[in-house]
Amino acid sequence: MKFVGVTSCPTGIAHTYMAAEGLEQAAKAAGHTIEVETQGSAGFDKLSPETIAAADAVVFAVGVPVRERARFAGKPTIEADVKKAISDGPGLIAQAVAAAEAAAASPTAAQAGSPAPPSGGLVTKVDQHASTGNRIRQWLMTGVSYMIPFVAAGGILIALGFMVAQLAGGKNGAIVVTKLYSLTGPPDPNPTHIVNIVTDFNPADGMHWAALLFLVGAASFSFLVPILSGFIAFAIADRPGLAPGIVGGFIAATIGAGFLGGIVTGFIGGFVALWISRWKVPKGVRGVMPVVVIPLTSVFITGALIIVVLGRPLKALSDGLASWLNGLTGSNLILLGVILGLMMAFDMGGPVNKVAYTFATTGLAAAAVATTGTSLQIMAAVMAAGMTPPLGLALATTIRRHLFSEAERENGQAAWLLGASFITEGAIPFAAADPLRVIPSCMLGSGVTGGLVMLFGSTLRAPHGGIWVTPLIGNPLLYLLAIAIGTVITAAAVIALKAAGPGPVKTELDAGGLAEVVVS
């Protein structure tokens, strides 16, 4: 028989190659051939697609996740720890033979990616040697690394949309672009005309270009939570995890649970899929497991769980927060600024953030006729506090590069622009990968900024736009100062927490490998 294999290990200089040698020797001794791709630090020569296509089975003997794993999809697969290939190469080759024979006997399962291998217990994503904490981090990092392109594309497109709107539409352009353009529906007969950009796009109108950028960016953003959730589930359960993870994430986003909700749905979807794919089923059902039974049951169970588990508490939470905030109005303004700042950074687009933001924008609408007033100050505090999380993380990745993974450092570059444009989501990749350290750091900086904006008495008439609406800000210099202070505080806090905590090296390794999967 012909086999292909992949070997890897954390350091990439010893076990990777010993394992390759072990598999080659064992295959030769048993009268088979195997070509092994060593994913070590000396780079790796990819197996050709023809070689992979011709292989009867695949052997992964790995200590870190296989890079570009999708190339091997659909093949009968044996997965084991890298040490297994060193200590017992012949055993792995024997398993590969068994898997190849079983797949030949039941081709449907093999073609569908064989999530429920007929010979039982062969495919496992779980690294026996990693601690629970490391495994959780690997799962989160997998989700984050697939989400980053959506954050970068969506965030930068939205920021560009604001810039163009500012040039084409004057100082209110950045507000108008978020409100008066849409991809669907007939023109709105209400006082403000809504332009359907699909039917009425006019290349000569700068605002239409701004809206085009904004709407494409917004479309990309709408995938953040589903993709995060889907690929967390994928890391846990492999291919069967994708459908329940993505659907669960979409529901989480729809009901306003934000990225924290998406992490929850990723874990639920992943474990539900893992559990179902391990069911022992009669032979006749096995063929339809990957195409019907697993997707059907895992998607329904996950979706139903999310709606029942997350839906009601979320509603209660946002209602409770909203009435609490209304009770606070008029009391100490600086305290209110601090609280709004903390809320903005807590979940970056989730229910808590949304309550704070909605609180500010509804105040803005009510104050439309007033000339000054606390409503405008509240809006100013909320926007400033929403800008500091990405800015602070961008600063942290710039001055302490080694504390962040390659993917995070690249995301840090984009985060400057996202933060400056009040796109708090720019901080989500960092927060999703390491919530316990990143979220408190962001809250600290945002809380201080929110309080300072109140103290300085800056005002804002726009509901969005970041630095692109500076002409609309009262007291702009002090406003920018407050943002700068919060940015520095968030950066300092995140650096201090990451430097004190365990294992940045390990995280870097995983993220590096995964990031390559994403870009290649």
Partner 1 sequence: MSLITENLVVLNLDSPDRHAATRVLAQALADEGRVTDLDGFLADVRRREEQMPTGLPGGIGIPHARSAHVTEPTLAFGRAPQGIDWGAEDGPATLIFLIAAPEGGGDDHLKILAALARRLMRTEFRESLMNAPDAAAVVDVVTREVVNP
3-state secondary structure of 146: helix
> Per CB under 8 A, does 272 bind partner 1?
no
How many residues form the binding site for partner 1 (CB under 8 A)? Answer: 25
Contact between 12 and partner 1 per CB under 8 A: yes
Q: Find the part of the chain contacting partner 1 (CB under 8 A) among 15-23, 158-166, 433-441, 488-496.
A: 15-23
Q: Which stretch binds partner 1 (CB under 8 A): 82-90, 201-209, 356-364, 365-373?
A: 82-90
- Taking the least distance from each CB to partner 1, the nearer of 25 and 362 is 25
Task: Report the C-alpha gap between 3 and 93 in whole angstroms.
Answer: 9
Is 5 a binding residue for partner 1 by CB under 8 A? The answer is: no
Among 21, 205, 410, 516, binds partner 1 (CB under 8 A): 21
Closest contact distance (angstroms) between CB of 207 and partner 1 is 48
Least distance CB 486 / partner 1 (angstroms): 34
Question: Residue 400 — φ and ψ, nearest 5°?
Answer: -135, 70
* Residue 316 interacting with partner 1 (CB under 8 A): no
At closest approach, how far in Å is the CB of 86 from partner 1?
6
Count the alpha carbons within 13 Å of 160 in the hemisphere toward its beta carbon.
15
Phi-psi region of 483 (alpha: psi -120 to 50; beta: other; left: phi over 0): alpha
8 A C-beta contact, residue 415 and residue 431:
no
Asked if 25 interacts with partner 1 (CB under 8 A), we say yes
Q: What angle do CA 339, 343, 349 make, to 5 degrees?
A: 160
Interface with partner 1 (CB under 8 A), residue from 488, 506, 517, 518: 506
The reply to whether 9 belongs to the active site is yes
CB of 36 to partner 1, least distance (A): 10
Binder to partner 1 among 22, 161, 269, 390 (CB under 8 A)? 22
Nearer of residues 11 and 326 to partner 1, judged by Cβ: 11
10 lies in the site for partner 1, by CB under 8 A: yes
The rounded distance, in Å, linking the Cα atoms of 356 and 253 is 17
Select 21 or 101, whichever has its Cβ closest to partner 1: 21
Closest distance of CB 6 from partner 1, Å: 15
The encoded tokens of residue 186 equal 């007939």
Nearest approach in angstroms of CB 28 to partner 1 is 12
The answer to whether the CB of 394 falls within 8 A of the CB of 419 is: yes
Strand, helix or coil for residue 78: strand
The residue from 4, 9, 164, 407 that is catalytic is 9
Distances (CA, A) of 496 to 434, 444, 516, 520: 14, 13, 28, 33
Shortest reach from residue 91's CB to partner 1, in Å: 12
Distance CA(405)–CA(432), nearest Å, equals 13
DSSP labels, 455-488: HHT-EE--SS-GGGGGGGEESHHHHHHHHHHHHH
Nearer to partner 1, 38 or 353 (CB): 38
Three-state secondary structure call for residue 62? strand
Of residues 87 and 372, the one with the C-beta less far from partner 1: 87
Best CA proximity match to 144, nearest among 354, 303, 136: 136
* Site map 461..500 versus partner 1, x via CB under 8 A: ----------------------------------------
Does residue 236 bind partner 1 (CB under 8 A)?
Answer: no
β pairing state of 2-8 and 33-38? parallel
Give the pair of three-digit tokens for residue 7: 């070997």
- Angle at CA of residue 112, ends 111 and 114, nearest 5°: 95
Q: Angle 444-375-472 (CA atoms, 0-180°, nearest 5)?
A: 85
Least gap, CB of 64 to partner 1 (angstroms): 10
Can residue 41 be called a binding residue for partner 1 (CB under 8 A)? Answer: yes
Chain positions 97 to 136 lying near partner 1, rule: CB under 8 A, are 129
Binding site for partner 1 (CB under 8 A): 10-18, 20-22, 25, 38, 40-43, 63, 83, 86-87, 129, 505-506
Catalytic site residues? 9
